[in-house]
A and B are shown apart, each in its own frame.
Chain A
Amino acid sequence: MGRGLYIHIPICRSKCYYCDFASYPLNRFTERDLDLYVLAIEYELKHLLSQETRPVELTSVYVGGGTPPLIDTSRLVLIMEAVHKYFDLATGCELTVELNPLTCTPETLRGLAKAGFNRFSLGVQSFDDYTLMKLGRAHSAQEARAAIGLLKENFDNISFDLIYGVPDDDPARWKRDLETALEFDPDHLSLYSLQVEEDTPLAQLIKRGFCDPVDEGLQADQWDWACDRLYPTDYRHYEISNWAKPGKESRHNLGYWLYDPYYGVGAGASGFLDGQRYRNTSDPWEYTQIMRSSLKGRFPAAEFVERLTPEQMAAERIILALRTADGLNLEDIPGMSSAEFWRRYGEKLTYYREMGLVWRRRQRIGLTEAGMALSNRIFLMFMP
């Protein structure tokens, strides 16, 4: 069993129209704010470790955001040094950093190398300027291409994020984007369907009629098309929104689905430790403030902590594993025997199997690609 560490850098150059993540424009931070934020992360790492009884070995570290390089790679170096200082890193530990085409300068890439990152997740989203504009992305398609070129010259193990189901989307656009992405031969692809979240500028644009609401039929077509397009390639559809070449699956993300514990550090970060889920305050200034005071409790900056009930644990374990292509080993469900599992869900699962949504191999069950597309409906039965 692995153990992950997620570090959140809540800074972006500007806010994308669809974004509801914890991130703030860079110009709201002073240099001192940024220094204090790095210090706060170090304090939190130290505090988390002080709660452990023995040394902790990490199998993955993921620095996400926001746009981490915007904090300056020198600060990322400091953060990674702090990680090394308090934690042991397993051999071959996956060290991912998220980046954005605009931050892909030779200088930044040198800094990231210095910080020790060995996996790079690039927020491409699209190779179509009109689509990028609709999404409120700050970069152009040309900048994305240039960034990819530079990244590939310097590093292996590159992942792209692409987005489909954009308002007024053109089916051909998605096909072109995916083809373009494949030409660059990334090791890993995350394909996300656009979700219009309340209180985002995009929701406003749709409400005021500046663009059409997302077409669910088209989103479904685009998903189908991507699944079909990638099926004969080396990319394996190893999780609902993720495809990877063999051995290039994201160790860190798999940890989420396989119910491994993980630390969440930084403003807005979520963690999962000893059956407790927590989320830190999303306000980086408040977070910094808290970390500089005397730290109380296990999760001092948490705005939310919840101890999962045994039923919730079982449900989460099942649902998260079913997001993966390898599915769920029925012996892994906490507090539930596989006999009990079949007694409760057997009838429905058999029905879903007949519909081609679910597969079963001995003690393992999983969702087919068709089942993944309808996974929420299937998951409902497991909800307590």
Chain B
Amino acid sequence: MESRLRNFCIIAHIDHGKSTLADRLIEYTGTLTEREMKDQVLDTMDLERERGITIKMQAVRLVYKAKDGNEYVLNLIDTPGHVDFSYEVSRSLAACEGALLVVDAAQGVEAQTLANLYLALENDLEIIPVINKIDLPNANPERIKEELAEIGLDPDEAILASAKTGEGVEEILEAVVQRIPAPTGQENGPLKALIFDSQYDSYRGVIAYIRVVQGQVRTGDTITFMASKKSFDVDGLGVFTPKLMPVKTLSAGEVGCLITGVKNVKDVRVGDTVTSKDNPADAPLPGYRKATPMVFSGVYPVDNDAFTDLRDALERLQLNDAALEFEPESSAALGFGFRCGFLGLLHMEIVQERLEREYDLELITTAPSVRYKVLKTDGEELMVDNPAFLPKPQEIEAIFEPYVKGFIIVPQNYVGPVMELAQDKRGEFVTMEYLDTSRVRLIYELPLSEILMDFFDKLKSRSRGYASFDYQFSGYKEANLVKLDILVNGKPVDALSTIVHRDKAYHRGRELAKKLKEIIPRQLFEVPIQAAIGNKIIARETVKALRKDVLAKCYGGDITRKRKLLEKQKEGKRRMKALGNVEIPQEAFMAVLQTDD
């Protein structure tokens, strides 16, 4: 049986056609009837469909009758493509023996193609390069082959395909069977299964996605989660077709899901090992390196009473999103909320959107920050991810900020503007290499905080959309940083503080004060907005007092209409946060991001 099993995934730069190809594979193997076949079946969440990106990987079991006459079971594991989610990619890679590396036949190798390729190689996966979209008029498979050779792959092994027309799909399936090794692993011996993902379902409780590495698990067995040491009965096992289909056993090499009715999210940790209670394994499988959040922001309910709802929602989300971190914090301006850690900006946006949409919460989020390392004069070392908690300047010996290694792939004629941008963003040039005759790969050391601002947008605009970007954390570097405070009506607003480079502080302060002046509506009195470093005010703007807000129109006896106008106004006000007597709209707290250098 084992030899008829293949576990593989598809990796690609965003939009190169990973989801579409997965659909074709499912269709080709007849896993879904045509009626069930919606486009991009693997992207299940509404949000994913809308944004066209894959956040959450899932496994699908395909049954394929190969040319050698045998039936094979192919487990296809979908992976996210965006740079924020490289951690999730690495989790799904650990459940596979091989990967289809999809490259767009017109666009060629991009930053995330490389990042994903390296992750796959680290996991010893067999790589099958697929040049996709060869149906496009501007497809140039020969050029793409050159690029593949440049990054160390054998161009002759590449399969030419079109996920749109279905061309090459059979060849891909044959290659999966022929080139990707069957999983190795002992069917006898104590159970060891890796939890590579989990999901919460309100009926079934926690569903753990597992890859059985050794032994077998059967419905009715009692299993133990090795990290939490908790034991549960196996209520059910299933595989995805991609609908959940119950099975009686999962054996070494197989991928499926495990239902135990566990209600507590914390008992089922992604990366943990499942073993048998009666016949436990002596050591767990090597887990994952924990995803480290890089971006932090305060998330507060608009309505303070919704604090516990927010906590419950975050706990639920965390179950399907192991990378999300949160802990309670409070702000003088915003009340009680959570400091959340995210993998990157996109991850942050997705979490916020899911909280608002799926859990119906109204939120205020503060501008994202990185996590600084602060060495105090008394020798103590602190990690600060909320600018409001930066110690006083006189107590600080040094501040270190996270740097990333940034990989930019860009056509040669845009190298100039892109290098200028990287320099603006305090980047340090590392190297530049040619990918082919016309495209260049630049490597920069960049402060992560600068990437949070608006790096992607600027990169895209300076390269007319041609540049692609990926980064990985590279370490901490000392920097000349100061805390920029914002005072509204004379009072500092903790949630508006940011940490910025000293050289940029004046400029940023002025921009921010100006921006806030636009965002904060007129109040019954004049509201000064000041930017300050320590005790020094570096910028000042004034929101002039509102002079007139009155219904002085003749409405006859139509009082309802008058009232409706007030109701509308009240609704707008509800979405504001009162700081003393000043009302601030939610956008103000994100304004820091929009200032332009």
Known: A190-B554, A357-B524. A374 touches B548 (CB 8 A): yes
Q: Are B551 and A220 in contact (CB under 8 A)?
A: no
Determine the chain A residues whose CB is within 8 A of the CB of B67 once the complex forms.
none
Determine the chain A residues whose CB is within 8 A of the CB of B524 once the complex forms.
355, 357, 374, 377
A277 at interface by CB-CB < 8 Å: yes
Q: Are A262 and B547 in contact (CB under 8 A)?
A: no
Q: Are B552 and A240 in contact (CB under 8 A)?
A: yes
Q: Are B553 and A351 in contact (CB under 8 A)?
A: no
Determine the chain B residues whose CB is within 8 A of the CB of A217 once the complex forms.
547
Determine the chain B residues whose CB is within 8 A of the CB of A316 once the complex forms.
559, 563
335-364 of chain B: CB within 8 A of chain A = none
B44 at interface by CB-CB < 8 Å: no
Q: Are B581 and A351 in contact (CB under 8 A)?
A: yes
How near does chain B come to A279, taking the closest CB pair, in angstroms?
7
A205 to B302, CA, bound (A): 39
B549 at interface by CB-CB < 8 Å: yes
Known: A220-B547, A376-B550, A377-B549. A64 touches B573 (CB 8 A): no
A17 at interface by CB-CB < 8 Å: no
**Main SS at interface, chain A:** mixed
A195 to B551, CA, bound (A): 9
Residue from the list B549, B558, B559 in contact with A320, Cβ < 8 A: B559
Residue from the list A195, A262, A319, A376 in contact with B549, Cβ < 8 A: A376
145-187 of chain B: CB within 8 A of chain A = none
A270 to B554, CA, bound (A): 13
Q: Are A383 and B566 in contact (CB under 8 A)?
A: yes
A372 to B550, CA, bound (A): 7
Determine the chain A residues whose CB is within 8 A of the CB of B70 once the complex forms.
none
Q: Are B567 and A383 in contact (CB under 8 A)?
A: yes
Residue from the list B546, B547, B556 in contact with A6, Cβ < 8 A: B556
A313 to B565, CA, bound (A): 16
Q: Mark A259-288, 1 if CB is under 8 A from B, else 0.
A: 000101000011110000101000000000
Residue from the list A216, A240, A256, A357 in contact with B557, Cβ < 8 A: A256
How near does chain B come to A162, taking the closest CB pair, in angstroms?
11
Known: A357-B524, A376-B550, A377-B549. A383 touches B556 (CB 8 A): no
18-50 of chain B: CB within 8 A of chain A = none
Residue from the list B554, B557, B563, B567 in contact with A264, Cβ < 8 A: B557
Known: A195-B553, A377-B524. A219 touches B573 (CB 8 A): no
Q: Are B566 and A380 in contact (CB under 8 A)?
A: yes
570-586 of chain B: CB within 8 A of chain A = 570, 573, 581
Residue from the list A64, A223, A319 in contact with B552, Cβ < 8 A: A223
Known: A220-B547, A355-B525, A380-B570. A272 touches B552 (CB 8 A): no
Q: Are A269 and B547 in contact (CB under 8 A)?
A: no
Determine the chain B residues whose CB is within 8 A of the CB of A223 once the complex forms.
548, 550, 552
B431 at interface by CB-CB < 8 Å: no
Determine the chain A residues whose CB is within 8 A of the CB of B535 once the complex forms.
none
Q: Are B548 and A64 in contact (CB under 8 A)?
A: no
Q: Are B557 and A272 in contact (CB under 8 A)?
A: yes
How near does chain A come to B2, taking the closest CB pair, in angstroms?
68
A64 to B556, CA, bound (A): 8
Residue from the list B557, B565, B566, B567 in contact with A262, Cβ < 8 A: B557
A143 at interface by CB-CB < 8 Å: no
A192 at interface by CB-CB < 8 Å: yes
A304 at interface by CB-CB < 8 Å: yes
Determine the chain A residues whose CB is within 8 A of the CB of B552 once the complex forms.
191-193, 223, 240-241
How near does chain B come to A287, taking the closest CB pair, in angstroms?
16
Determine the chain A residues whose CB is within 8 A of the CB of B551 once the complex forms.
240, 375-376
Q: Are A279 and B558 in contact (CB under 8 A)?
A: yes
A378 to B466, CA, bound (A): 53
B138 at interface by CB-CB < 8 Å: no
Determine the chain A residues whose CB is within 8 A of the CB of B394 once the complex forms.
none
B188 at interface by CB-CB < 8 Å: no
B438 at interface by CB-CB < 8 Å: no
Q: Are A380 and B569 in contact (CB under 8 A)?
A: yes
Q: Are A270 and B560 in contact (CB under 8 A)?
A: yes
Residue from the list B546, B548, B566 in contact with A219, Cβ < 8 A: B548
A383 to B559, CA, bound (A): 14
Determine the chain A residues whose CB is within 8 A of the CB of B570 once the complex forms.
380, 383
Determine the chain A residues whose CB is within 8 A of the CB of B567 once the complex forms.
383
A224 to B566, CA, bound (A): 23
Q: Closest chain A residue to B549 by CB distance?
A: A376
A383 to B524, CA, bound (A): 18
A21 to B552, CA, bound (A): 15
Known: A379-B566, A383-B570. A304 touches B560 (CB 8 A): yes
A306 at interface by CB-CB < 8 Å: yes
A264 to B560, CA, bound (A): 13
Known: A190-B554, A351-B581, A377-B524. A256 touches B548 (CB 8 A): no
Determine the chain B residues whose CB is within 8 A of the CB of A332 once the complex forms.
none
How near does chain A come to B114, taking the closest CB pair, in angstroms?
50
How near does chain B come to A377, taking the closest CB pair, in angstroms?
5
A373 at interface by CB-CB < 8 Å: yes
How near does chain B come to A92, taking the closest CB pair, in angstroms?
21
6 intermolecular pairs with C-beta atoms under 8 Å apart: A6-B556, A219-B548, A223-B550, A256-B557, A277-B559, A373-B548
Q: Which 4 A-B pairs have the closest CB atoms?
A: A220-B547, A220-B548, A376-B549, A270-B558
**6 extra A-B contacts, CB within 8 A, seeds A192-B552, A319-B566, A373-B549:** A193-B548, A195-B553, A220-B547, A277-B559, A279-B558, A372-B550
Query: B residues within 8 Å of A by Cβ?
Result: 524-525, 546-554, 556-560, 563, 565-567, 569-570, 573, 581
